[in-house]
Structure 1
């Protein structure tokens, strides 16, 4: 099993919080990670999979009475969204015996899950998000295969391109037809697949719900509901624009990305790296891929935005902390990148922070004062250096 970077933080939080919620998309490796850290915990563990009918049946009568017999164990509740009515019971159990590491809750997220935990377990639970494999977690720095297949473990580890593609096709179909309805999204599967495919074609584009609704023959508010759900299921990222008083007309619409690059390529039937490089989506796909490698590295007080003005000044990412832009990021699909006038203007607009230009495989070097170039593989080291320096 590959070591997940989240592991140490996960174990540490279990020594402090009564409950820890590990959230993320289906098949990202949540259950595998929990089983891997069980021998590091101070308590014995008991595991219940709430998608298994025999385990779910144990909670159909007096749930509090049933769980009270495990006061000395860490109770792992997998697919917790299947039993949202359990959260008030967990609050009572925690308040009567507030010890760290009592419960681990695993879920694929949903509006119902988030609402119930925020209302019932406020101050008692800490959340962590487990993404599919990050490039920095892999034993080989082969960014091309990771970018092409995405980070879902079964897709990346598949012994052939065909098997990886078959898994991703089944994953998309099952998520749309089975998993999202179980999470509470009532939508026509055909329309939802069309929406997902449109988002792949418009990867990294500005959100225009009206245009999406017209194309799908759906009401605009319904499109918004679908997008909100896909975002809370960790399938879509909504990147908001940075707003600052620079006296310019700024873009107000967010950008939308399908978070896993392998799903983008599956929806567009791009199975070969050479075919991908010849497709119009290649630049946006690379941008989304790098963004998904970068954002999970940020600290809780480092917030990502993009910056764009009506005049064309643009930065792919700006990282804000304590009210200031600490770092700007440009994402290039060339190992010999150049900066446009619009980039220079955008940097001036946001206070001339350091700029990091991320490429596929360029050596790390300084392009000019306060501007560095690096590869996606060396991104973790450069990000830490520039944000902590």
Structure 2
């Protein structure tokens, strides 16, 4: 079993909050983490897709009274958002008894924003955490082969650890089919599975591209408003990321539309029928896929309060990823697939515009070295470690 960093974060959050919501796509490892926490202490686990478990909490007050000394774990909580109003009363009652922390752990497949809309009644009583796939530090990508395996297959545990690339691809195809035909309809949207699959595949084809709703709408023969609705849904399901443009006033004509990434590289490749590493290297999406893969891994290690952006002007100045820390420190990060990275004039121009405190080029090698004045070429796992150890300027 691969240890996940977020397990410690969940335990820490439970020690300071009455309830914790751990959100992430299906099959990403939320239940395993919850069961590990359950095994290490006193807890009761409920799978709300199981009708028997669902019946147990029809009277949540009675169920809690019977299990008041245990952490109550509820899996797939987005299925019953109406429960949060009742939980507020239970939490407040326990607070008056002096039981302030670690009462409930919620697991859900919808996004943090979606759950927050349903749990406004728990304001001040709930902490939110997000789990994505296994990342480069957790998998241990100290060798090129392991790094390439993670990039090709993505971070879903069953895909990453499959016995072969073919079996991994089969798992991801089944995952996509299940999401489209069962999981999304359960959340309410009535969108034909074939239409949403075409849309998802279009996003994979333009991985890392700037949003062009009108072009997507024309290809899918729907309105731009419908495209926005589809995109909102995929973002809410934590399957797609919108990377917003950096927009401070630098007196330049900036690109103002977000970039779009399918968040898991393995799903990107499954949508494009890329089975093995050689096929990936020869595919036109390889550069965009690598960029998205690096961005997701970096963002899995950033400190709280960091806001990610990209920077691009109409005149060609560009930075793939800008990290703005809570103290206003900025890191400029360029992403290169090459093992011998070189920088374009656009990166230098962009750095002149925004004045980053640190400049990095994340590349596909294993050594760290200076590539120019105040610019460091660095492997993915090393910049992730820097972010985990970040203490500020």
Give the TM-score of the pair, scaled to structure 1.
0.95
Displacement after TM superposition at 1:362 (Å):
4.0
Contact 2:114 2:236 in 1 (8 A): no
1:243 counterpart residue number: 247
Q: Distance in 2 between matches of 1:307 and 1:363?
A: 26
Displacement after TM superposition at 1:40 (Å):
3.8
Contact 1:347 1:353 in 2 (8 A): no
Matched, 1:10 2:7: no
Q: Distance in 1 between matches of 2:205 and 2:325?
A: 32
Contact 1:327 1:386 in 2 (8 A): no
1:156 counterpart residue number: 160
Q: Distance in 1 between matches of 2:347 and 2:321?
A: 11
Over 3 Å counting, the alpha-carbon distance change for 1:80 and 1:292 in structure 2 is same
Matched, 1:123 2:124: yes
1:100 counterpart residue number: 101
State the SS of the aligned residue for 1:377.
helix
Q: Distance in 2 between matches of 1:310 and 1:107?
A: 40
Deviations 1:172-226 (A, max 9, x none): 0100111111122221111100000000000000111121111111122121111
Over 3 Å counting, the alpha-carbon distance change for 1:341 and 1:139 in structure 2 is closer
Q: Distance in 1 between matches of 2:383 and 2:90?
A: 43
Q: Distance in 1 between matches of 2:356 and 2:156?
A: 37
Contact 1:313 1:345 in 2 (8 A): yes
State the SS of the aligned residue for 1:132.
coil
Displacement after TM superposition at 1:6 (Å):
0.8
Over 3 Å counting, the alpha-carbon distance change for 1:52 and 1:312 in structure 2 is same
Matched, 1:353 2:357: yes
2:83 counterpart residue number: 86
Q: Which runs of 5+ in 1 are unaligned?
A: none
Over 3 Å counting, the alpha-carbon distance change for 1:275 and 1:242 in structure 2 is same
Matched, 1:305 2:309: yes
Q: Distance in 1 between matches of 2:314 and 2:381?
A: 33
1:371 counterpart residue number: 375
Displacement after TM superposition at 1:325 (Å):
4.4
Q: Distance in 2 between matches of 1:288 and 1:226?
A: 20
Over 3 Å counting, the alpha-carbon distance change for 1:345 and 1:139 in structure 2 is closer
Q: Distance in 2 between matches of 1:323 and 1:241?
A: 19
| Paired residues, number | 385
Displacement after TM superposition at 1:112 (Å):
5.0
Contact 2:302 2:388 in 1 (8 A): no
1:194 counterpart residue number: 198
Give the TM-score of the pair, scaled to structure 2.
0.94
Over 3 Å counting, the alpha-carbon distance change for 1:384 and 1:158 in structure 2 is closer
Shift >6 Å, 4+ stretches: none
Deviations 1:250-295 (A, max 9, x none): 0100000000000010111111211111111110000000001001
Matched, 1:183 2:187: yes
Q: Distance in 2 between matches of 1:235 and 1:295?
A: 14
Displacement after TM superposition at 1:67 (Å):
2.2
Single out whichever of 143-152 and 203-212 deviates more from structure 2. Answer: 203-212
Matched, 1:270 2:287: no
Matched, 1:143 2:141: no
Q: Distance in 1 between matches of 2:288 and 2:251?
A: 29
Contact 2:303 2:388 in 1 (8 A): no
Q: Distance in 2 between matches of 1:89 and 1:187?
A: 32
What value does the CA root-mean-square deviation take over the aligned residues?
A: 1.5
Q: Distance in 1 between matches of 2:257 and 2:329?
A: 20
Displacement after TM superposition at 1:322 (Å):
3.6
Displacement after TM superposition at 1:64 (Å):
2.1
Single out whichever of 151-160 and 30-39 deviates more from structure 2. Answer: 30-39
Over 3 Å counting, the alpha-carbon distance change for 1:352 and 1:78 in structure 2 is closer
Displacement after TM superposition at 1:388 (Å):
3.6
State the SS of the aligned residue for 2:200.
helix
